[in-house]
Amino acid sequence: MKTTGAQLLRILLERQGIRTLPGIPGGAILPFYDALHGSTIRHVLARHEQGAGFIAQGMARVTGRAAACLATSGPGATNLLTAIADARLDSVPLVAITGQVSQSLIGTDAFQEVDTYGLTLPITKHNFLVRSAAELLEIVPLAFQLAESGRPGPVAIDVPKDVQNATIEIDTLPEPGRRQPLAPCADELIDTLAHLLAHAQRPVLYLGGGIITSNATELARTLAHRAAAPVVSTLMALGAIPPEDPLFMGMLGMHGTQGTNFLLEEADLVLAIGARFDDRATGKVAEFCPRATIAHIDIDPAEIGKIKTAFLGLVGDAADILRRLLNRLPPQTRPTWLARAAELRASYPLQHPPRSEDPLHPVNLCRFLGEQLPADAIITTDVGQHQMWVAQAYPFRQPRTLLTSGGLGTMGFGLPAAIGAALAAPGRRVACVTGDGSILMNIQELATLAEENLPVAVLIFNNTHLGLVRQQQELFYGQRYEASRFATSPDFAAIARGFGVRGVRIDPATDPLAQLSDAFAGDGPCVIDIPIHTTENVYPMVPPGAANRHMLIAQPELTHA
Binding site for another protein (CB under 8 A): 117-118, 121-122, 125-127, 129, 146, 300-302, 304-306
CB 140 within 8 A of CB 32: no
Burial class (CB in 10 A: 0-12, 13-18, 19+), 344: buried
**What is the smallest separation between the CB atom of 208 and another protein, expressed in angstroms?**
18
**What is the smallest separation between the CB atom of 123 and another protein, expressed in angstroms?**
9
* Closer Cβ to another protein, 41 or 142, answer by number: 142
Q: At what angle do helices 133-148 and 5-15 cross, to 10 degrees?
A: 30
Q: Tell me which H or E stretch contains 98.
A: strand 94-100
* Closer Cβ to another protein, 61 or 125, answer by number: 125
* Closer Cβ to another protein, 156 or 281, answer by number: 156
- Of 444, 337, 403, 399, whose CA–CA distance to 45 is shortest? 444
* Closer Cβ to another protein, 14 or 115, answer by number: 115
**What is the smallest separation between the CB atom of 106 and another protein, expressed in angstroms?**
11
* Closer Cβ to another protein, 118 or 246, answer by number: 118
Distance of CA 395 to the CA centre of its chain: 17
- β-pairing, 2-4 vs 167-169, is antiparallel
**What is the smallest separation between the CB atom of 103 and another protein, expressed in angstroms?**
12
| Helix ranges restricted to H, 209-317 | 210-213, 217-227, 258-266, 279-282
* Closer Cβ to another protein, 90 or 536, answer by number: 90
* Closer Cβ to another protein, 114 or 443, answer by number: 114
**What is the smallest separation between the CB atom of 472 and another protein, expressed in angstroms?**
25
- Of 353, 346, 260, whose CA–CA distance to 542 is shortest? 260
DSSP 285-310: GGGSSTT-EEEEEES-GGGTTSSS--
Determine how many CB atoms are found less than 10 A away from the CB of residue 556.
Answer: 7
* Closer Cβ to another protein, 98 or 463, answer by number: 98
* Closer Cβ to another protein, 181 or 246, answer by number: 181
**What is the smallest separation between the CB atom of 126 and another protein, expressed in angstroms?**
4
For residue 456, the SS3 value is: strand
> How far is 60 from 132, CA to CA, in rounded Å?
28
What are the φ and ψ backbone dihedral angles of 402, each rounded to 5 degrees? -110, 115
**What is the smallest separation between the CB atom of 91 and another protein, expressed in angstroms?**
13
- Of 183, 265, 194, whose CA–CA distance to 230 is shortest? 265
* Closer Cβ to another protein, 219 or 310, answer by number: 310
In angstroms, what CA-CA distances link 125 with 18, 121, 177, 329?
20, 8, 15, 36
> How far is 259 from 266, CA to CA, in rounded Å?
11
**What is the smallest separation between the CB atom of 157 and another protein, expressed in angstroms?**
13
Residues pairing with 4 in the sheet? 167
- Of 260, 261, 263, 222, whose CA–CA distance to 240 is shortest? 222
Q: Tell me which H or E stretch contains 154.
A: strand 154-160
* Closer Cβ to another protein, 238 or 304, answer by number: 304
Burial class (CB in 10 A: 0-12, 13-18, 19+), 474: middle
Distance of CA 512 to the CA centre of its chain: 30
